[in-house]
Chain A
Amino acid sequence: QSALTQPPSASGSPGQSVTISCTGTSSDLAGHNSVSWYQQHPGKAPKLMIFEVSKRPSGVPDRFSGSKSGNTASLTVSGLQAEDEADYYCCSSAGSHYVFGTGTKVTVL
């Protein structure tokens, strides 16, 4: 099972929006709605930002939104803030197991 494909990096200025893509196959993303997104700051544990494609856990700002179309999921961060600078990972069910994306480093310019 290969990792889901994410762009290595993305960037934006404060206040702008950035969208991260996550591409999979018919065995994972296209066939399941159990898609999550995680934010990870250096030296910290990953933090769940989005689950079930577009749902936000309690406490996650509504600046974070998720969507999915076919075999591609997306995370959009609107109104970028300095604290949004981090690594972001997608994760999808692949039936009997899960697979993570390759990770995207978001830089706030």
Chain B
Amino acid sequence: QVQLQESGPGLVKPSGTLSLTCAVSGASISSDYWWSWVRQPPGQGLEWIAETHHSGTTNYNPSLKSRVTISVDKFKNQFSLNVNSVTAADTAVYYCAINGDFRGQGTLVTVSS
């Protein structure tokens, strides 16, 4: 059974960088899956952020592409998301997923000074 565990800083200051990690268990990050990030601002809907494949292919939400980077760490069997120049609008629960299937609980990130 594949399990995903998101981890992050909880609180990030405006204009800073938000860094999240999704630890994968029960599957290899090098397998033929798409690994993705989705977020949900408090009380709002879901927003797709980005996806990556171990082959190096990455895809981004056009509205976030200039500020977001997704990457894979094969040694730690995890993948990560960096969002720079954050504002209060980036406050959300961030979820990671495997082939569009959410297997974690999500992690809340608040952007505030």
Contact = CB atoms under 8 A, between A and B. Distances in A.
Interface of A: 1, 3, 36, 38, 45-48, 51, 57, 89, 91, 96-103
B8 interface: no
Contact of A1 (B36, B38, B63, B101): B63
Nearest to B104: A45
Interface in B90-113: 95, 100-102, 104-106
A100 B47 contact: yes
The winner among A91, A98, A103 for most chain B CB atoms within 10 A is A98
Contacts of B38: 46, 100
Interface of B: 36, 38, 45-48, 51, 59-63, 95, 100-102, 104-106
Given A45-B104, A48-B101, A97-B60, A102 B45 contact: yes
Contacts of A51: 100
Contact of A57 (B63, B101, B106): B101
B105 A45 contact: yes
A102 B46 CA distance: 8
A101 B47 CA distance: 9
B61 A100 contact: no
Contacts of B47: 100
Contact of A100 (B45, B62, B63): B45
20 contacts: A1-B62, A1-B63, A3-B45, A45-B104, A47-B102, A48-B100, A48-B102, A51-B100, A57-B101, A91-B100, A96-B59, A97-B59, A97-B60, A97-B62, A98-B36, A98-B100, A100-B45, A100-B46, A100-B47, A102-B45
